[in-house]
């Protein structure tokens, strides 16, 4: 006797029942060598726990929903000692696709939960969140803000599970500080960029305006390249692109003036006792000599252009001389806070404003120039340090 479950033909026959398959069949039995009846009786070897058979001479076999091997048996009516069987494997009740993935913090990835149609499934994660996807069995996973390895679990309605592993990594970020610089035609500026989120911290520098925007040389002994401004005044953009992730970049905006010497920042405002790092640019890059014309009462400046404000508020002039030319910057030294509450010190109201501006630079939605206490073009740790030198406590 041979047995055929639909397209299957050999006896005994094995069929893999996948998650999308409810039944196998119709089953067809062929009895040969009998001079009597060619009929068969159908049964399930494992009894009711193994599944069920639909009525009729060519039944459909509906195996158990639980994973395992189950058998539909055809027994000859003419000779009950002769039989053949179909061996069916029911696969696990749930599966997750993909089984492994790598995501940046906060990124979203679709997962597909595959189940037997007679089952339902839920999903959970040891970190991150899920939202229902656009189609059946689809879920959108959003990675948490902390890097690490997380487990995604799909649980079927019969208690079977499937898991997937998600490795969450910090995003690659490129920053340049400051983000804007004013230079003189023909002067030079050493370029530096910071890359976080990857062991490879290298960047490539390009000029958005091409050769018309100046030139970038191989640079200093520390490996940082040097930008030389063009002769033509204008605004130019230097782009630092991560080598590890070329989709991530930062832009340094350079304003080139036709004058003889420029100072950055031109008119900063800082707190008493605070500091600001000045830079001077002159065509041909002659050595710069820094001074405070009004003397120690107006603060001090070192040979690198780092100015320290005095203890008294007011407006003070810092002078840069180079190649027989000079330029000045006016520093406004304040004792009042930036929340405008009239108190002569920083307090919790100012701290809230500083927190809102944290990490910002010009052009960003949360940029607040008052919070850039050291005037370096970004609100960061240096501003926090200066902030707490003026902190007076709660309102």
| pLDDT of 67 | 72
Domains and CATH numbers, the chain: 2-90 (2.60.40.1080), 94-169 (2.60.40.10), 174-257 (2.60.40.1080), 261-331 (2.60.40), 346-393 (1.10.1330)
Contacts of 275 (CB under 8 A, 6+ apart): 306, 307, 308, 309, 374, 386
Per-residue pLDDT of the chain (395 residues; tens, 9 = 90+): 444 433 222 333 344 444 445 677 788 888 877 677 788 889 999 998 888 988 888 888 888 877 778 888 888 888 888 888 888 877 666 788 888 998 888 899 999 887 766 677 888 999 999 888 877 788 899 999 888 999 999 888 777 788 999 999 888 889 888 888 888 888 888 888 989 888 888 999 999 999 899 999 875 555 678 898 898 889 999 999 999 899 999 999 998 887 788 888 878 878 788 888 898 888 878 889 999 988 999 999 999 999 999 988 888 999 998 877 788 888 888 776 777 776 667 788 888 888 888 888 887 888 888 788 776 778 887 788 777 777 765 55
Residue pair 142/107 in contact (Cβ under 8 Å)? The answer is: yes
| pLDDT of 6 | 34
Instruction: Calculate ∠ Cα 267-270-276, nearest 5°.
Output: 75
Could you give the 3-state DSSP secondary structure of residue 199? coil
**What does the block give as tokens for 8?**
């299957």
| pLDDT of 8 | 29
Residues 228, 185: Cα–Cα separation, whole Å: 8
Residue pair 313/344 in contact (Cβ under 8 Å)? The answer is: no
Instruction: Calculate ∠ Cα 114-138-120, nearest 5°.
Output: 50
Give, as one character, the DSSP assignment of residue 296.
G
| pLDDT of 118 | 66
End-to-end CA distance of the chain: 95
Instruction: Calculate ∠ Cα 127-129-133, nearest 5°.
Output: 140
**What does the block give as tokens for 172?**
């690659």
348-357 and 381-389 helices cross at what angle (nearest 10)?
A: 170
**What does the block give as tokens for 147?**
């890097």
- For 119, phi then psi, to 5°, come to -110, 165
Torsion angle of the four alpha carbons 267, 273, 279, 194, in this order, in degrees rounded to the nearest 10: -110
Q: What is the pLDDT of residues 117-162, one digit of tens each?
A: 667 788 899 999 988 887 778 889 999 988 899 999 988 877 778 8
| pLDDT of 222 | 54
| pLDDT of 223 | 65
- For 34, phi then psi, to 5°, come to -105, 135
Residue pair 347/354 in contact (Cβ under 8 Å)? The answer is: no
Could you give the 3-state DSSP secondary structure of residue 318? strand
Residues 59, 52: Cα–Cα separation, whole Å: 10
**What does the block give as tokens for 164?**
């997937």
């Amino acid at each position: 006797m041979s047995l055929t479950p639909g397209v299957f033909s050999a006896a005994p026959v094995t069929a893999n029942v996948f998650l999308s398959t409810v039944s196998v069949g119709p089953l067809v039995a062929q009895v040969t060598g009998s001079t009597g009846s060619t009929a068969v009786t159908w049964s399930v070897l494992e009894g009711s726990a193994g599944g069920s058979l639909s009525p009729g001479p060519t039944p459909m076999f509906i195996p158990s929903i639980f994973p395992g091997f189950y058998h539909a048996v055809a027994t000859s009516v003419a000779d009950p000692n002769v039989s053949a069987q179909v061996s069916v494997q029911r696969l696990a009740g749930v599966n997750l696709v993909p089984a492994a993935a790598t995501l940046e913090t906060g990124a979203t990835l679709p997962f597909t939960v595959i189940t037997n149609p007679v089952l339902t499934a839920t999903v959970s994660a040891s970190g991150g969140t899920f939202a229902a996807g656009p189609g059946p069995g689809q879920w959108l996973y959003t990675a948490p803000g902390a890097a690490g390895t997380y487990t995604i679990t799909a649980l079927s309605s019969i208690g079977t599970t499937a898991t997937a592993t998600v490795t969450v990594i910090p995003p690659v970020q490129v920053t340049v500080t400051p983000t804007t610089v004013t230079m003189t035609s023909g002067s030079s500026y050493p370029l530096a960029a910071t890359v976080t989120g990857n062991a490879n911290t290298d960047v490539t520098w390009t000029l958005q305006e091409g050769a018309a925007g100046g030139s970038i040389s191989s640079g200093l002994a520390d490996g940082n390249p040097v930008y030389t401004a063009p002769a033509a005044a204008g605004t130019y953009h230097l782009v630092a692109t991560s080598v590890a992730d070329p989709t991530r970049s930062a832009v340094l905006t350079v304003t080139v003036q036709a004058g003889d010497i420029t100072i950055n920042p031109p008119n900063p405002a800082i707190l008493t006792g605070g500091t600001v790092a000045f830079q001077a640019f002159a065509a041909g890059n002659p050595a710069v000599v820094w001074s405070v014309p009004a003397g120690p009462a107006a603060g001090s400046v070192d040979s690198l252009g780092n100015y320290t404000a005095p203890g008294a508020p007011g407006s003070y002039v810092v002078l840069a001389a180079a190649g027989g030319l000079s330029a000045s910057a006016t520093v406004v030294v304040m004792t009042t806070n930036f929340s405008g509450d009239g108190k002569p010190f920083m307090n919790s109201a100012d701290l809230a404003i500083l927190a809102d501006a944290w990490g910002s630079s010009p052009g960003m939605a949360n940029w607040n120039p008052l919070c850039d206490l050291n005037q370096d073009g970004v609100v960061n740790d240096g501003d926090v340090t200066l902030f707490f030198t003026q902190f007076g406590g709660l309102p």
